[in-house]
């Protein structure tokens, strides 16, 4: 990795696999200038930035994927250390997802509900972070697919309908297979990135209405 320092600025940029890894506090004008310099094929990857404890990571998707693969083992060990004794409650698939999985507020909320383990970077609440559109549910589905043990926990969640703030999640768990069937119909390539699935979003809206029922 080649570092680039910027005078007395409190940040540095490392070049790796043709990607720019920003560490430290980068003033907004300079960050916007960095984004303007990016090639049309380059993307900003918040998940990889979290994984590397960086401020931002910018690069071509294939290069970002290589860095992700290379860094996953080290990221898993860092996550294990951060969790301390709580890591003993998780299997290797769970630790790998926490370290390198595609995440959002809803999938993190679901992980907390199903495991009882809360990563320190998740600052939301399970009541607030219900999946509200298809891509949020997509990330939840990736979690269940990548951590097979949690699939067995969904029926248990479905039974928690009487718990305050859990009824909405229980309804989603109960309808999980139906949501997946609809997603497969509307977006069969859902594993590969953002999707458009109006039917899934419409189904999720029904569960949101439980919040005010």
One digit per residue, the tens of pLDDT, for the chain of length 213 reads 544 555 556 899 999 999 999 999 999 999 999 999 999 999 999 999 999 999 999 999 999 999 999 999 999 999 999 999 999 999 999 999 999 999 999 999 999 999 999 999 999 888 889 999 999 999 999 999 999 999 999 999 999 988 888 989 999 999 999 999 999 999 999 999 899 999 999 999 987 665 555
pLDDT of amino acid 163: 86
The pLDDT assigned to 179 comes to 97
User: Angle formed by the axes of helices 176-186 and 167-174, to 10°?
Assistant: 60
The set of long-range contacts for 150-158, using a CB threshold of 8 Å and a minimum separation of 24, is: 150/94, 150/111, 150/114, 150/115, 153/114, 153/115, 154/114, 157/113, 157/114
Q: State how far the Cα of 200 lies from the Cα of 133, in Å rounded to an integer.
A: 7
Is the distance from CB of 207 to CB of 171 less than 8 angstroms?
A: yes
Cα–Cα distance for residue pair 143/140, rounded to 1 Å: 5
Compute how many other C-beta atoms are within 10 angstroms of the C-beta atom of residue 60: 16
């Amino acid at each position: 990795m080649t570092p680039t320092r910027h005078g007395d600025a409190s940040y540095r940029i490392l070049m790796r696999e043709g990607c720019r890894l920003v560490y430290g506090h980068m003033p907004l004008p300079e960050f916007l200038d960095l984004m303007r310099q990016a090639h049309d094929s380059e993307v900003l990857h918040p998940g990889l930035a979290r994984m590397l404890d960086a401020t931002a990571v910018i690069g071509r998707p294939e290069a970002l994927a290589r860095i992700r693969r290379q860094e996953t083992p080290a990221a898993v060990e860092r996550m294990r250390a951060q969790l301390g004794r709580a890591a003993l409650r998780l299997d290797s698939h769970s630790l790998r997802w926490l370290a390198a999985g595609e995440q959002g507020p809803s999938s993190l909320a679901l992980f907390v509900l199903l495991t009882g383990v809360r990563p320190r970077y998740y600052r939301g609440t399970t009541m607030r972070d219900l999946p509200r559109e298809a891509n949020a549910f997509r990330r939840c589905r990736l979690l269940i697919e990548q951590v097979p043990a949690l699939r067995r926990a969904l029926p248990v969640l479905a039974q928690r309908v009487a718990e305050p703030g859990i009824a909405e999640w229980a309804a989603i768990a109960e309808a999980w297979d139906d949501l997946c069937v609809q997603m497969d119909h509307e977006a069969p390539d859902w594993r590969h990135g953002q999707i458009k699935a109006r039917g899934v979003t419409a189904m999720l809206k029904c569960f949101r209405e439980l919040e005010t029922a």
